[in-house]
Structure 1
């Protein structure tokens, strides 16, 4: 049986790959809500982030974990210098990609990462790009969030309905809420919760008060 987090990673990556089929240069040059990235540059960012798993698992394992998935997205990690390099990296990677090969390239990248995860023991510890050590399963949660939330950004930029899978939505909501239920008075479905708590849709004053009282984890994603 495939672990639910790995199953969510596989499902969301496959959905994203399918959504990219048939994009032309006009589509790829559209702006996104992750400025200054275009669709092309945001796809490159997601591809690079997905591919990190393969290199991380090829490196020596740290002795013990130091952070979890929520701490990986801590605001202290995203200094102006780190964020600037992250943005520049996405733009640089985009210039090296063949637009016509984007779906094939992304498909190959995530499948290689998935194979590396499948070959690793569940307790494996990896070193993140921030230098922290964390369990492989925790890092995989961050990949589900990255692919899923940036998938929402790409769908919006391409004027398409969101394609977020149910498996990924479950993992992302659990990470954002710390496993606690959303306040009943908000009446949010999972998609609304994700959009609101990641800044894709603005919170109202009462919503922000309810979210803060519930103790949701506010994660940092950079600019």
Structure 2
């Protein structure tokens, strides 16, 4: 749990600091996550970062059956699931827009992720929760997925805001290990963790030579929705 908790804390803290510098015009910027604006994407990240607090308030659903890699499966990206996710974020952004502008764009996000950590700290690391997709997972594995959500969408927000990526080293390590299954990358690729995350999540293209190097090393990168 410790490295995952640290990664979640560090990445949320960094994102919160960035959000406190935004103004009204920043919230209306488009993002690569069409049709979301920055405000919509922020609403999605805020909801995801705070979800675990509510999950831990319910009864234990039984033994864990899915880990973080299994959570990011094709079933989560079916057209209707995707459509529901898009509309939910847009509705959430509209509902909280005036509050965010009055109190600051990072206020709701800070409350959400800090409530999650408080709930996590009050339970054992192997406590099982049920996700909104019905998957029983340990707290540690689900928190790992939250690091992915905050870290990877943080890259999308950085792009939309015309800022350099702010991904923290602790979050980059957790995300990279999940994407590769903990396997070391071929040295001749020359990828650092940030490059790996861009390449694995489709935010940068992989060349044929790069894919051949991965195949030769027996590495099958985790592909969200694939």
Aligned to 2:38: 39
Q: Is the counterpart of residue 14 in structure 1 residue 13 in structure 2? A: yes
Q: Scaled by the length of structure 2, what TM-score is found?
A: 0.94
Shift of 1:154: 0.3
TM-score normalized by the length of structure 1? 0.95
Structure 1 runs not aligned, ≥5 long: none
1:215 equivalenced with 2:215 (yes/no)? no
Output the aligned Cα RMSD: 1.4
2 CA distance for matches of 1:138 and 1:212? 27
Please name the residue that 1:152 is paired with: 155
Deviation at 1:221, TM superposition (A): 5.4
Looking at structure 1, the residues matched to 141 and 215 of structure 2 have their Cα atoms a distance apart, in angstroms, of 24
With over 3 angstroms needed to count, the CA separation of the structure-2 counterparts of 1:94 and 1:141, relative to structure 1, is same
Q: How many residues align?
A: 221
The question of whether the paired residues in 2 share the 8 Å contact of 1:70 and 1:219 is answered with no
> Any unmatched runs of 5+ in structure 2?
none
Structure 1 CA distance, aligned partners of 2:225 and 2:195? 18
Distance 2:63 2:112 in 1: 27
Offset, 1:182? 1.1
Q: 2:123 aligns with which of 120, 123, 134?
A: 120
Asked if 1:200 corresponds to 2:200, the answer is: no
Q: Distance in 1 between matches of 2:90 and 2:30?
A: 13
Q: For 2:142 and 2:212, how far apart are their aligned partners in 1?
A: 30
Equivalent residues in 2 for 1:57-206, closer than 5 Å: 57-97=56-96, 98-100=99-101, 101=103, 102-206=105-209
CA–CA separation in structure 2 for the residues paired with 1:132 and 1:217 = 22
* Structure 1 stretches of at least 4 aligned residues deviating more than 4 Å after TM superposition: none
CA contact (8 A) 1:57 1:116 kept: yes
Alpha-carbon separation, structure 2, partners of 1:139 and 1:51: 12
Pair 221,159 (structure 1): closer, same or farther in 2 beyond 3 Å? farther
CA–CA distance in structure 2, aligned partners of residues 146 and 88 of structure 1? 17
The question of whether the paired residues in 1 share the 8 Å contact of 2:60 and 2:129 is answered with yes
Query: Within 1, Cα distance between the matches of 2:193 and 2:41?
Result: 23
- Residues 70 and 217, structure 1, Cα contact 8 Å, conserved in 2: no
